[in-house]
């Protein structure tokens, strides 16, 4: 049996951890630039605020009168990531074959193959996570991942009857869950597929399961066929294994304002490239390709729009910030055009492989060993003291591109400073 542990309203729960005055109130967490709603408390969901809703459209959904009741917070991903690590490490110590699926979700195997014992084990797990980390979690379990997803939704939506744990442990339970599951709520069925399936009279997961295999395969692709099989209890894991190493690494931002200065956009690109290279090194990988893109403001009609990207292959795959930034700058100068406003830029690393598999280029003049030693030293300093203790000089422009964060929770912020102090000192200890 697959279990899926899913944190409830994760980002909001993280904010509440550091500011209990948020409990019981409608809270939303906003994306970078305070742009869109990316997490909602149950109270905010009940008011009718949709997921992904642009912040300025919230009032359209709930009415201007109730707008002041909603607490809007800027996201603090570093904090959420850290809390996620604590939950995942706790799960890793308690469960078999943990697969971290996202910042707030993880699959693992039920330990006993016995519905009564498994249920008790999972209830204890939910209680343990709440006790040691403080985040409410729901767990669903079923014969396949796709069904476990459905089970966890049921657990989350019915906390009173399920106490946060629900298992699809018999065909009877599976059948009745599928009848109540809208086709759009099935994992792997998005907007377009929902529309295509509805047009063929398929509105629920139960109706989808009844649809003939041959038709599913001929009308759609192999991914949809797998989802179809998983709903019937056939595990398709072998066909789509959960990958561990990243195949691409990206860092990009929408800027706080429209930027025209070449230096400013370039500083952002350097920052993204350096950030990507750091992640690459932390995974023990190298990249063979660097891609850079820039883009104007797609919502503004009063200024000319320009968007472009450029991809360059490295002479020798590398993870050195110096090399990655060098190529990123080269790509950037190919696509930057004066006279346009820029609202977003990003860097993406592709053709990623383990650093042990690098094939040296005969004509490459770089001294890789020297660069690797330098990078190790910089990473060591940044791990020990602060993320930005040492960085490349070319990142330091005015920082106009930095996004807006006007809704940081101040009371939680001070609690966080105390906490980051604790982390820094514990890091020092561990390195000693």
Partner DNA sequence: TCTGGGGTCCTAGGACCC
**Closest to DNA by CB, 303 or 424:** 303
> 């744990």: which residue's tokens?
165
Per CB under 7 A, 102 contacts DNA: yes
Contact segment (CB under 7 A) with DNA among 52-60, 132-140, 199-207, 406-414 equals: 52-60
Choices 134-142, 295-303, 353-361, 374-382 (CB under 7 A): range interacting with DNA: 295-303
Site residues (CB under 7 A) for DNA, limited to 66-95: none
Residue 317 in the binding site for DNA (CB under 7 A): no
Residue 306 as a binder of DNA (CB under 7 A): the answer is no
Contacts of residue 366, Cβ cutoff 8 Å, sequence gap at least 6: 315, 316, 318, 323
The runs of H, that is alpha helices, within 211-256 are 213-219, 222-231
Task: Tell me if 27 contacts DNA by CB under 7 A.
Answer: no
Task: Spell out, one character per residue from 240 to 279, where the chain touches DNA: x when CB under 7 A holds, - when not.
Answer: x--x--xxxxxxxxx------------------------x
Contact between 42 and DNA per CB under 7 A? no
Q: Which among 12-20, 84-92, 203-211, 220-228 is the span making contact with DNA, rule CB under 7 A?
A: 220-228
Any contact of residue 8 with DNA (CB under 7 A)? no
192 contributes a contact to DNA by CB under 7 A: yes
For residues 72 and 34, the answer to whether their CB atoms sit within 8 Å is yes
DSSP annotation of 403: P
Please count the residues of the chain: 432
At closest approach, how far in Å is the CB of 380 from DNA? 22
- Residue 189 CB, nearest approach to DNA (Å): 5
Half-sphere exposure of 221 (CA within 13 A, CB side): 4
Alpha helices in 158-190 (DSSP H): 159-162, 171-180
In the beta sheet, which residues pair with residue 285? 354
The DSSP line for 110-137 is -SSS-HHHHHHHHHHHHHHHHHHT---E
Under rule CB under 7 A, residue 154 binds DNA: no
Could you say which residues in the range 329-368 bind DNA, by CB under 7 A? Answer: 344, 346, 348
Any contact of residue 203 with DNA (CB under 7 A)? no
Q: Which of 346, 266, 356 is nearest to 317 (CA)?
A: 356
Residue 430 Cβ vs DNA, minimum distance, rounded to whole Å = 25
Conformational region of residue 163, where left means phi above 0, alpha means psi within -120 to 50, and beta covers everything else: left
Are 135 and 7 a contacting pair, CB within 8 Å? yes
172/192 with CB nearer DNA: 192
Beta carbon of residue 240, minimum distance to DNA (angstroms, whole number): 6
Q: How far is CA 23 from CA 27, 43, 128, in A?
A: 9, 10, 20
Least Å distance between CB 115 and DNA? 25
Number of residues that bind DNA (CB under 7 A): 49
Tell me if residue 259 falls in helix, strand or coil.
Answer: strand
State phi, psi for 283 to the nearest 5 degrees. Answer: -95, 0
Dihedral sign of CA atoms 125, 128, 129, 130 in order: positive
**Segment 389-393 long-range contacts (CB within 8 Å, at least 24 positions apart):** 391/274, 392/270, 392/274, 392/321, 392/322, 392/325
Q: Based on CB atoms, which residue is closest to DNA, 5 or 47? A: 5
315 binds DNA per the rule CB under 7 A: no
Binding status of residue 189 toward DNA by CB under 7 A: yes
Question: Between 94 and 279, whose beta carbon lies closer to DNA?
Answer: 279
Q: State the nearest-atom distance from the C-beta of 217 to DNA, in Å.
A: 8
- 103, 151, 177, 270: which one contacts DNA (CB under 7 A)? 103
Of the listed pieces 86-94, 180-188, 202-210, 375-383, which binds DNA according to CB under 7 A?
180-188
Q: Which residues bind DNA (CB under 7 A)?
A: 31-33, 35-36, 38, 52, 54-56, 101-105, 149, 186-194, 221-223, 239-240, 243, 246-254, 279, 297, 299-300, 311, 344, 346, 348, 403
């Amino acid at each position: 049996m697959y279990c899926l542990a899913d944190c409830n309203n994760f980002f909001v729960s993280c904010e509440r951890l550091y500011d209990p005055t948020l409990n019981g109130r409608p809270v939303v967490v906003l994306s970078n630039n305070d742009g869109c709603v990316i997490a909602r408390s149950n109270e905010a969901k009940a008011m009718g605020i949709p997921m992904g809703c642009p912040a300025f459209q919230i009032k359209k959904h709930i009415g201007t009168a109730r707008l002041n009741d909603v607490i809007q917070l800027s996201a603090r991903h570093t904090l959420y990531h850290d809390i996620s690590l604590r939950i995942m490490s706790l799960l890793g110590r308690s469960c078999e074959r943990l697969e971290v699926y996202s910042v707030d979700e993880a699959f693992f195997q039920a330990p006993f193959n016995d519905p009564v014992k498994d249920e008790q084990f999972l209830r204890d797990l939910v209680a343990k996570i709440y006790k040691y980390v403080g985040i409410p979690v729901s767990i669903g379990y079923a014969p396949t991942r796709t069904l476990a997803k459905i089970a966890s939704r049921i657990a989350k939506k019915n906390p009173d009857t399920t106490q946060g744990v629900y298992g699809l442990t018999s065909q009877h339970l599976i059948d009745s869950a599928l009848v109540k599951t809208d086709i759009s709520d099935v994992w792997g069925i998005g907007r377009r597929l929902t529309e295509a399936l509805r047009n063929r009279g398929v509105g629920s997961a139960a109706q989808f399961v009844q649809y003939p295999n041959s038709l599913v395969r001929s009308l759609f692709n192999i991914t949809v066929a797998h989802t179809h099989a998983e709903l019937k209890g056939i595990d398709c894991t072998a066909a789509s294994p959960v990958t561990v190493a990243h195949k691409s690494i990206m860092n990009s931002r929408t800027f706080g304002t429209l930027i025209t200065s070449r230096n400013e956009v370039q500083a952002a690109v350097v920052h993204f490239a350096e950030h990507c290279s750091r992640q690459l090194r932390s995974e023990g990988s190298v990249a063979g390709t660097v891609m850079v893109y820039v883009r104007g403001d797609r919502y503004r009609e009063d200024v000319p729009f320009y968007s472009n990207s450029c991809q360059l292959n490295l002479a020798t795959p590398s993870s050195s910030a110096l090399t990655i930034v060098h190529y990123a700058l080269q790509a950037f100068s190919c696509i930057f055009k004066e006279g346009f406003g820029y609202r977003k830029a990003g860097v993406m690393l592709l053709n990623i492989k383990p650093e042990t598999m690098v094939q040296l280029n005969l004509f490459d003049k770089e001294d890789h060993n020297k660069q690797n030693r330098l990078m190790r030293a910089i990473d060591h300093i940044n791990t020990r003291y602060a993320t930005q203790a040492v960085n490349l000089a070319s990142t330091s422009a005015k920082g106009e591109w930095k996004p807006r964060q006007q809704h940081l929770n101040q009371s939680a912020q001070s609690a966080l400073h105390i906490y980051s102090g604790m982390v820094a000192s514990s890091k020092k200890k561990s390195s000693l």
